[in-house]
Amino acid sequence: MTNIHQTHMNRARALRVLMLLAVTLTSWVALAGSAKAVGVPITIDSFGNPNVSAGPFTRTVIPLPAPHTSTTPQGTFSQSNGVATLTMSGAGNGISGSTLQYTSASGDPVDLTGGGTNAQIFIDFALINQMPAASDFSPPGVTTYISATDGNGNTAISPSDGVGNAFAFNAAFPFSGFQGTIDWTRITQLAFSFVYPISHTGGGSLEVQVNKLWATPLGGAPPTPPVPTVTAPPSAIGFAGATVDFTVSFGNSEGAAPVTHDPPSSIGLRAQDLMVSGSAFGTAIPVVQVSGGPSTYTVAVSGMTQSGGITVDVPAGVVDDAWNQLNSASTNDPTASFTYGVPPKFRTSPTATFTVGAPPAMVTIDATGGQPAPTPTPTLSIASGSLPAGLTFKDNGDGTATLSGSPAAGTGGVFKLTLRASNVAGAVSQPFGLTIDEAPSITSAATATFGQGMPGTFTVTTGAGFPTPSTLSITSGALPTGVQFNDNGDGTATIVGTPAAGSVGTYQFTVTAANGTSPAASQQFTLTVAGPAPPVPRPTGSAPSNSTLPTVTGQPIVGGVLSASPGQWSGTPVITFGYQWQRCASTCANIPDATTTSYTVASGDIGLTVRVVVTATNGIGSTQATSSEVGPVIPAVTPPTTAAETRAALVKLLTLPQQERIREIRLNRGYTGSFNAPSAGQLTVQWHKRGLVASGSVIYTIAGTEKITVTLTRYGGHLLRDAHKLTLTASGSFTPSGGPAITVEQTITLRQ
The answer on pLDDT for 4 being more than 70 is no
Instruction: Report the 10 Å Cβ neighbour count for 71.
Output: 10
As a whole number of angstroms, the distance between CA 413 and CA 570 comes to 62
3-state secondary structure of 98: strand
Q: Which CATH class is domain 547-626?
A: mainly beta
Query: Between 3.40.50.1370, 2.60.40.10, 3.90.1150.10, 2.30.110.10, what CATH number should domain 351-437 receive?
Result: 2.60.40.10
CA distances from 312 to 234, 256, 309, 315, 333 (A): 13, 20, 10, 10, 7
Give the per-residue pLDDT at 140: 64
The pLDDT tens digits of the residues spanning 646-695 come to: 999 999 988 888 788 888 888 889 988 888 888 899 999 999 999 999 99
| Residue 123 pLDDT level (bands cut at 50, 70, 90) | very high
Contact 749, 725 (CB under 8 A): yes
Contact 495, 517 (CB under 8 A): no
The pLDDT tens digits of the residues spanning 547-589 come to: 999 999 988 888 889 999 999 999 988 999 999 999 999 999 9
As a whole number of angstroms, the distance between CA 154 and CA 173 comes to 18
- Per the DSSP assignment, residues forming a β-bridge with 502 are none
Contact 501, 453 (CB under 8 A): yes
Residue that wins the pLDDT comparison between 496 and 237:
496
Q: Which fold has domain 227-340?
A: Immunoglobulin-like (2.60.40)
| Residue 533 pLDDT level (bands cut at 50, 70, 90) | low
CB neighbour list of residue 367: distance below 8 Å, 6 or more residues apart: 344, 345, 346, 347, 374, 378, 380, 399, 400, 401, 421, 428
As a whole number of angstroms, the distance between CA 508 and CA 521 comes to 17
As a whole number of angstroms, the distance between CA 449 and CA 507 comes to 10
Q: Which fold has domain 643-751?
A: Immunoglobulin-like (2.60.40)
Would you call 310 exposed, middle or buried from its count of C-beta atoms within 10 A (0-12, 13-18, 19+)? buried
| Residue 133 pLDDT level (bands cut at 50, 70, 90) | low
DSSP label of 659: G
- Per the DSSP assignment, residues forming a β-bridge with 474 are 511
Contact 27, 161 (CB under 8 A): yes
Pairing mode, strands 335-340 and 235-238 = parallel
Query: Between 3.40.640.10, 1.20.81.30, 2.60.120.260, 2.40.128.20, what CATH number should domain 22-216 receive?
Result: 2.60.120.260
First to last CA, the chain: 121
Q: Which fold has domain 447-530?
A: Immunoglobulin-like (2.60.40)
The pLDDT tens digits of the residues spanning 66-77 come to: 998 888 999 999
What are the sequence ranges of the domains in the chain?
Answer: 22-216, 227-340, 351-437, 447-530, 547-626, 643-751
pTM check: above 0.85: no
Same fold for the pair 22-216 and 227-340: no
What is the average pLDDT score of the chain?
Answer: 87
As a whole number of angstroms, the distance between CA 645 and CA 404 comes to 75
As a whole number of angstroms, the distance between CA 433 and CA 240 comes to 33
| Residue 52 pLDDT level (bands cut at 50, 70, 90) | confident
DSSP label of 271: G
CA distances from 710 to 313, 672, 689 (A): 112, 6, 15
